[in-house]
Chains A and B, each alone.
Chain A
Amino acid sequence: MNQLLVALVGNPNTGKSSLFNALAGLRQQVGNYPGVTVEKKTGRFQVDDTEVMLVDVPGTYSLAPTSPDEQIAVHVLLGTQPGTNRPDMVLCVVDASNLARNLYLVTQVLEMGLPVVVALNMVDIAAERGLEIDIPALARLLGVPVVATQANRKKGIDELRQMLAGARVESAPVVTFSGPVEHQVDQLVEDQSLPEEIRNSFLARRLLLDVTGSLAKGLALDGNAEKTFARAREEVGQDQRIHGLEPVVRYGWIKQALDQLLVKRETIKDAGRGRLDRLLTHRVMGSVIFIVVMGLLFQAVFSWALPMMDVIDGSFAWLGSTVGSWIPPGALQSLVVDGVIAGIGSVVIFLPQIVILFFFIGWLEGCGYMARAAYLMDRLMASVGLSGRSFIPLLSSFACAIPGIMAARVIKNRRDRLTTILVAPLMSCSARLPVYVLLTAACIPDRRLLGGWIGLQGLVLFSMYMLGIVVAVMVAFLLKKTLLKGPTPPFVMELPSFKLPSMVVVSRRMLSQGWDFVRQAGTLIFAVTVLVWAAGYFPHDPLVESQVRERYQPRINLLTDGVQREELQQRMDAEINGEYLRNSFLGKMGRMIEPLVQPLGWDWKIGVAVVASFPAREVVIGTMGVIYNLGSDADEESATLRDHVRAAHWDDEPDRKVFTIPVALSMMVFFALCAQCASTLVVMKRETQSWRWPLFTFVYMTAIAYLAAMVVYQLASLF
Chain B
Amino acid sequence: MLAQLARGETGRISEILGDDDLAIQLMEMGLVPGIDIRCIGSAPLGDPLEFELLGFRLCLRRKECERIILQDD
Residues of A that sit less than 8 Å from B by CB: 61-62, 64, 66, 97-101, 104, 129, 131, 211-212, 214, 243-244, 247-248, 251-252, 255, 281, 283, 287, 371, 375-376, 378-380, 382, 388, 490-497
Closest to B49 in A: A375
Cβ of B37 under 8 Å from chain A: no
User: Which of B28, B44, B64 has most A Cβ within 10 Å?
Assistant: B28
How near does chain B come to A253, taking the closest CB pair, in angstroms? Answer: 11
Instruction: Give which listed residue, A247, A252, A283, contacts B24 with CB less than 8 A.
Output: A247
B57 touches A490 (CB 8 A): no
Contact of B25 among A66, A375, A378, A497 (CB under 8 A): A66
B48 x A378 contact (CB < 8 A): yes
A129 to B34, CA, bound (A): 23
Pairwise interchain contact B56-A66, C-beta atoms closer than 8 A: no
Q: List 25 A-B contacts (CB under 8 A).
A: A64-B28, A66-B25, A99-B55, A100-B54, A100-B55, A101-B29, A104-B28, A211-B19, A211-B24, A243-B23, A244-B16, A248-B27, A252-B34, A283-B44, A371-B59, A375-B43, A378-B61, A379-B45, A379-B46, A490-B61, A490-B64, A491-B60, A492-B64, A493-B58, A495-B58
Q: Name, among A251, A371, A376, the residue most crowded by chain B CB atoms within 10 Å (CB to CB).
A: A251
B56 touches A244 (CB 8 A): no
Contact bitstring B1-27, A, C-beta under 8 A = 1, else 0: 000000000000000100111111111
Q: Nearest Cβ distance between residue A244 and chain B, in whole angstroms?
A: 5
**How many angstroms between the C-alpha atoms of A129 and B56 in the bound complex?**
12
Q: Which residues from chain B contact A281 at a C-beta distance below 8 Å? A: 40-41, 50, 57
Once the chains bind, are A101 and B54 in contact (CB under 8 Å)? yes
Task: Assess the B59–A287 pair: CB atoms within 8 A.
Answer: no
Give the distance in Å from the alpha carbon of A252 to the alpha carbon of B61 in the complex. 26
Rounded to whole Å, the gap between the CB of A3 and the closest CB of chain B is 34
Across the interface, name the chain B residue whose C-beta is closest to A497. B57
Contacts of A283 in B (CB 8 A): 41, 44
Residues of A within 8 A of B23 (CB): 243-244
User: Can you name 20 extra interface pairs (CB under 8 A) apart from A66-B25, A380-B45, A496-B57?
Assistant: A61-B25, A101-B30, A104-B28, A211-B19, A214-B21, A244-B32, A247-B24, A247-B32, A248-B27, A248-B32, A252-B32, A255-B34, A281-B41, A382-B61, A490-B25, A491-B48, A491-B59, A492-B60, A493-B59, A494-B29
B47 nearest in chain A by CB position: A379
Cα–Cα, bound, A371→B34 (Å) = 27
Measured between beta carbons, the chain A residues less than 8 angstroms from B54 are 98, 100-101
CA distance A492 to B16 in the complex (A): 14
Shortest distance in angstroms between B49's beta carbon and chain A's nearest beta carbon? Answer: 9
Q: Considering only CB atoms, which chain A residue lies closest to B58 in the complex?
A: A494
Nearest first, the 9 A-B pairs at minimum CB distance are: A247-B27, A379-B45, A495-B57, A100-B54, A62-B28, A379-B47, A375-B59, A251-B32, A490-B22
| B50: contacting residue among A375, A380, A382, A497, CB under 8 A | A375
In the assembled complex, the CB of B3 is this many whole angstroms from the nearest CB of chain A, namely 14
- A158 CB to nearest chain B CB (Å): 29
Residues A212 and B24 in contact, CB atoms below 8 Å apart: yes
CA A248 to CA B34, docked complex, whole Å? 9
Q: Nearest Cβ in chain A — how far from B67, in angstroms?
A: 10
